[in-house]
Structure 1
Amino acid sequence: MDDHSDDRGGMRRDAATDSPPTRYDRASVRRPRAAQFSGAATGVGVLGIEICQSVQALDNSVPLVALKPTMVRVYLDETTVAASLRLRGELCLRQSATGPATYLAGINELKLDPADALALDDKRENLKASLNFQLPETALQAGPLIVELNRLIQIGGADQPFTGAAPVAVELTAGPPIRVRCIGLRYADPQTGGVHVPDAIHFDYFRSYLSRAYPVPAVEWSQIVVDANFAPPFQGATAVLANAQIAAIRNSEINSGTDPRTHYYGLVDDANGQHFMRGRASGIPAGPQPDTVASGPCGIPAGFAGDQDQSYADWYGAHELGHTYGRFHPGFPPGAQDASDATFPYANGQLSNADRKYVGYDVGDPQLGLEPKVMNGTTHHDVMTYADRQWVSAYTFEAIRQRLADEDAQFAPPVA
C-alpha cells in the first residue's frame, strides 16, 4: 500500500512542514509602586479564570480528568490600573458552594503595567502574562470543583481590591490510566555489524509525553528490550514485521496474566538517522480493541518536525499509539497525509481555528529538563498530523479519553 495513502503509516523524516518559530518572552523587572486605579474602576479587573490540563478554552469547556496535573490561570486587566504594580495571588477552592474552603497560593508573581497591555488572547499564549496556580492532589479528586480568586497581594504593599472575578465551577471526571508495554527492538546492521538498541532517554521521553499530553491521571508503564526478527535496510513493510513480533509477545504475555487493557508499542532506534523505520499501527479499530499494536522509530530529532529536545520518540510514539485508540489522520499537510478523519474540526490540522479558542498546555517534566509552556493553537498541530510542533487538540484529547474509558469497562480483568 502506498505510504502516503495508508492511514496507519507514520511520518517520514522529510514530511514535516516548516512554519515560523514561536516568540519567546523576555521578563523585565521594575520597582514596585503603590496601586492606582484608572478612571472609575474600583479595583483590578479580572478578565477570566482558566483551568488547564493538556488543552483548554477560556470557557473551560474541555473536560478535566481527575488526578491529572492541573494549572489554574488568572488573567488580569492592565487598563484598570494607572501605574505599574507587582502582584501575587491566592485562590479559594471548594467542592460545593457551601462546602469548606481551602486556600492556595500562586506559583509566580505578575507585573501589571498599563503601558504594556496585552489582549486576552495574547495573555493566554504567554505563561508569564497570568497569575498561575498548581492545584494540589487533594483538589483533583473526581467530582465538582469551584475555583475563586480570593486575594491579590501587591509585592511590598497591601492587598488590592479586584472586580469581575466570578467563581468558576468545573467537574473533574474519573478516568483510567493508560497502560503501555514498550518493547525496544534490538537489531544488527548486516553491513557494519553494529548493534542498535533504543537508548533509555527515548523510553523516558515517550512515557513522559503520554503523561503530559494524553487524557490520563497516570501512565502504567513497563519496558523491555528483545532481539528484532528483522534487519536493515528498512522498507515500508518493516514496521509490519515489527508489529507481528510485538503482537506475538503481547499474546504470550496476556495469556500469562498481563492486564488485557495494556497497549503494546515497539521502539526501533534509527542509528543516528542511518536506519529510519517509518512507524505504523497494525490497525485503527472502530471500537475498543487493546490488542491493536504499533511500532515506530526513535532518535535525536535535530529539528525533525520542529522538535529541538533529545528525542522524537515522544510525539511520534503518541501518534502511532493514537491509531490504536481509533484516531485517524486529519489530512495535514495536504499531499503528505491522507485525510481519513473527515470530522477533524480545526483548519490545517491545528490545535485551534483562527479564533484562537484553544491553547495547549504542557506541565513540563523536571527530570527531563522540560519547562512548563503554553502552545499557540494556530501554530501548533494535532499529534495525529504529520505537521511540526505537535500536541493534542481538544478533539483528540476527548476522543482518546472516551476510548480509554470504554476499554477500561470492556476489558477489565475479573476480580479474584
Structure 2
Amino acid sequence: MNLRLASILSFFTLALTLIVGLGMDTRQSVAAPAGTTDQLTYLPFVAKAPDLFITNLEISQSVQDANNTVPLVANRPTVVRVYTATSSGNSVPNTSITLTATRNGVALTPVTSGVKTASGASSRSSLSSTYNVTLPADWLSGTVLITAKVTGEPIGSFTKLVTFNTVPTLNVVLVPINYTHTPTGVTFPGPNSDGISDWIMRAYPLSNMNVTLHPNGMNFSGNLREAASWEQLLNDVSQLKDNDIDFYSPTVYYAYIDFDCGWFNCSTGGIAGIGWIGFRAAVGFDHPSTEVTGELAGHEIGHNFGRYHAPCGVSGDANYPYTGASIGQYGLDGIGGSLELLSPNDYVDMMSYCDPVWVSDYTYEALYTDQVNNGALVWAPAEESLVVRGSVAEDGAVSLNPVYILPQTAVNPQNGLYEVELLDTAGNIIATHSLDLLIAEEEGVSAQAIHGVVPAPEVPVAELRIVEVASGTAVANRTLSTASMAANATLNQRSETATVSWGIADVPANVRYTVGNGQTWTTVGLNVLGGSLDVDLSNLPGGGNGRFQIILADQGTPTRFEVALPTPLADKQPTAWITGPNVVSTGAPAELYAFGSDAEDGALRDFAWSVDGEAVDADSALFLHELAPGEHVITLRATTSSGQTAVTSKVITVAP
C-alpha cells in the first residue's frame, strides 16, 4: 500500500470513527494509526459543551425590572421571560426551555415552552428573543425556587428564588349615576354593567377583585361641563359611601356616568373624572370603549390609592423617577391571552395625561403597598359617631354640610390639618378631634373637603366648631338641635313604588333601606327636605324584614326613625360576567375572571365553570392551558346565598 494513500485512509478512518462515536454518545473512540495493524488506540471522549446559555429569568405580572425587584402577587397570572445567549452569537433552532420548581423542597408541576429558535443574544426590548412561559397556577404562592434549563441538556441550568406575596382582594362598588344635564334638561340613565375590572385586573397588583353593582345608584342634576358640578358629584358619592357603609372603608366607591356628546363637549374635550387622593371614592365616565373606561378608572382609583399625577400633559409628582412620565421598565399586557410587550420608550404611566398608558414600576409598587397596608383593615366595633363633612373653597373658607350621627368606626385621620371642637349648651368644649383634609385635582377642576368620624359624647352636642390647625383659627361652625325630635314615620307601599313620610319638613334627612337587620344598607335619599320621599322599589334588595331608616341631620343626640315595608320585595335576579381574552394563540394559556353581583348579597363568590360543556374546578379565576385550536365556549354560573343563579358564557378562539 502506498504510504501516502495509507496515511490519507488512516486519517479518514479516524475522523469517521470520532464522528460516529460522538453522534452515538459513546464514551470512548477507537482508531488504528497509519502503519499499525495489530494495535488499537483508545482516545478519551470529550463531550461538546452546548453553545446555548440561559442568562436570566425575568418574572413579570404587569411590569418588571431586570433585577426582579418589583414585588410579585400570589395567584396572579405570571410570565417568565427566559433570556438566552450563545458564545458565537448565532441563534439555535429547534430548542425549548423546561422550567421546574420546588416549594419547601416539594416538586411542583414542570412546564416546557414551545419549540422555537433560541436567540443568540436575548434582549429586553424584543419579546420574540425570549422564551415567554406562563407559570402553572400551583406555582403562584409562597416562596418558590425556579430552575430553567435547555430541554434535553444536562448542564447549564439557571435558578431564581422568588416569593409570591398575598394581597387583599380589592372591593369596588360601581354606582350608576342617573344624570340630568340641567342646561338641556336631558337625563342620561346610569350604566348597568362593569367596564373597569378587565383593565384593572390586567394592570393593578391584584389576584382578585370583587365588583358590586350598586342596586339603587344615585340621581344627580348639574352641568358636568363645569368644574363645580364634578366637585359636587364627588362630594355626593362620598356621602353615599358614608351612609351605605363607612367613608374610611377600603372598599372603593366608583360612580360613573354614561358617556354622551349630549353633555360632554366631544369637540374640545373636558373633564372625564375626579377622585380623592388617598381616600377611596371617585367618579368617571363610562365610555363605549371598555379600554378607555378602564384606563380612566385606573387613573382615578390610582388617586384613591394615594397616587399623584405623573408629569406628562399635567404637573405631577415631584418624585416621579422617569422623564416624560415613561413607565421606566418593560410592561407586559395580555398575560393569559395575546402577550404584548410595552416599551418604556412608547408607553407612559396611567397617572399622566398622555397616551398610550400602562403602569410604571414606580406606580405599581406604590399601588401594591397601599393595598397591602389598607386593603383589609380590621375595623373596631361601630359606635355612635358624628360624621363631619364640609367643603373648602380656594380662599380657605369652610362650609359645613349637614351633620349626621351614625353607628360607625371612629378612625385616626391621615393628616389632621383641621380639628372639630364639640361644644355643649353652655359653650364649653366637650371634646376635640382631628379631621382630614381631602384633596382631588384634575385639569380644570380641583376639590377640597374636610371629613371626620368622631365619637359622639354622652352629653348632647349643641355646636360644632372647625379650627384650622396651622393658624389656630376657627373657620366654620354649625349649630345642632338638643331638643328631642319626635316623628311618626309612615309608609305607603304601591306595586313598584313607596312613599316614606316622617313629617319634619325643614330638617335634612338621609333615608336608607335594609333587609339584613342593619348589616347592610342601601341609601335611597341624601339630605332630603320636605319630610317625605318617593322611592322606586324595583331595584331595592328583596327578602323579608325590609325597613327604611330616616336619619335626621344636625341633632345633638342620635335621632333616627324606622318604618317597615308591609309587603316583602321579591329577590332580584343576580348578574354574572366574565373578563379575559377573546383570542389566544395555540399553546398559549387563557386566564379568565368571574364576577357576579346581587342586590341582596352584593359581590358574589360562589362560582362554577365549564369548558365546552365539561365542568372544571376553579374559583374566581380560571386558568386554561393547552386548548385545541378553534372556538371554545366558557360558561360561568354564579349562585347567591338564596340559591338564585346567573349564567353567562364567553367564546374564546384559539388561533392556529
Instruction: Please indicate, yes or no, whether the TM-score normalized by the shorter chain is above 0.5.
Output: yes
Match of 1:252 in 2: 243
Which residue pairs with 1:297 in the alignment? 285
| Equivalent in the alignment of 1:389 | 356
Give 1:338's aligned amino acid. Answer: S
CA distance in 1: counterparts of 2:76 and 2:379, whole angstroms: 21
Q: 2:106 aligns with which of 100, 107, 111?
A: 100
Question: For structure 2, which runs of at least 5 residues remain unmatched after alignment?
Answer: 1-22, 24-47, 382-518, 520-656
Within a 5 Å distance, the mapping from 1:369-380 to structure 2 comes to 371-380=338-347
Q: Does 1:221 align with 2:211?
A: yes
Aligned to 1:321, what secondary structure does the other structure show?
Answer: helix
Residue 367 of structure 2: which of 394, 397, 400 is its match? 400
| 1:109–1:131 contact (8 Å) kept in structure 2 | no
Map Cα deviations across residues 226-252 of structure 1 (whole Å, 9 max, x no partner): 243124452122222221221122122
Greater mean deviation of Cα atoms: 206-215 or 78-87: 78-87
The secondary structure found in structure 2 opposite 1:229 is strand
Distance 1:386 1:263 in 2: 22
Residue aligning to 2:175? 183
Secondary structure in structure 2 of the residue aligned to 1:210? helix
| C-alpha contact (below 8 Å) 1:261/1:412 kept by paired residues | no
Q: Tell me which protein shows more helix as a share of its residues.
A: 1
Residue pair 1:68, 1:216 contacting (<8 A) in 2 also: yes
TM-score, with length taken from structure 2: 0.46
For the 8 Å contact 2:310–2:352, the answer to whether it is kept is yes
The aligned amino acid for 1:122 is S
1:360 equivalenced with 2:314 (yes/no): no
Preserved contact between residue 208 and residue 365 of structure 1 (Cα < 8 Å): no
Instruction: Count residues with an aligned counterpart.
Output: 331
Pair 1:343-2:319 in alignment: yes
Structure 2 distance, partners of 1:412, 1:150, is: 48
The 2-side partners of 1:197 and 1:112 are apart by: 52
Q: Answer with 1 or 2: which has the greater Rg.
A: 2
Residue aligning to 1:77? 85
Q: Distance in 1 between matches of 2:262 and 2:330?
A: 33
| 1:387 to 1:44, Cα distance in 2 relative to 1, 3 A | same
Partner of 2:293: 313
- Separation (CA, whole Å) in 2 of partners of 1:365 and 1:227: 36
Deviations 1:5-57 (A, max 9, x none): xxxxxxxxxxxxxxxxxxxxxxxxxxxxx9xxxxx863312121111111101
Given that residues 106 and 134 in structure 1 are in contact (C-alpha distance below 8 angstroms), is that contact kept between their aligned partners in structure 2?
A: no
In structure 1, the gaps of 5 or more residues are: 1-33, 35-39, 153-158, 302-309, 353-357
Q: Distance in 2 between matches of 1:161 and 1:82?
A: 21
- Could you tell me which of 199, 207, 231 is aligned with 1:209? 199
Are 2:322 and 1:322 equivalent residues in the alignment? Answer: no
Once the two structures are aligned, what percentage of the paired residues are identical?
22
2:165 and 2:91 map into 1 onto residues whose CA distance is: 42
Q: What is the SS of the residue equivalent to 2:283? A: strand
Code of the aligned partner of 2:220: N
> TM-score under structure 1 normalisation?
0.71
Residues 109 and 187 (structure 1), Cα distance of their counterparts in 2 relative to 1, 3 Å cut: farther
Q: Counting strand residues as a fraction of each chain, which structure ranks higher?
A: 2
Distance 1:52 1:92, change over 3 A: same
After TM superposition, the structure 1 = structure 2 runs for residues 157-196 of structure 1, keeping only pairs within 5 Å, are 159-160=152-153, 163=156, 165-189=157-181, 191=184, 193=186, 195-196=188-189
Q: Which amino acid aligns with 1:120?
A: S
1:230 to 2:221 alignment: yes
CA-CA distance at 1:119 after TM superposition? 5.2
RMSD across aligned C-alpha pairs, in angstroms?
3.0
Per-residue deviation, residues 323-377 of structure 1 (Å, max 9, x unmatched): 11111112213xxx122x111111110111xxxxx211123576xxxx3322112
Q: Secondary structure at the match of 1:215?
A: coil
Partner of 1:230, secondary structure, is strand
Question: Deviation per CA, 1:201-249, whole angstroms, max 9, x where unpaired?
Answer: xx23x11111111111211211236243124452122222221221122
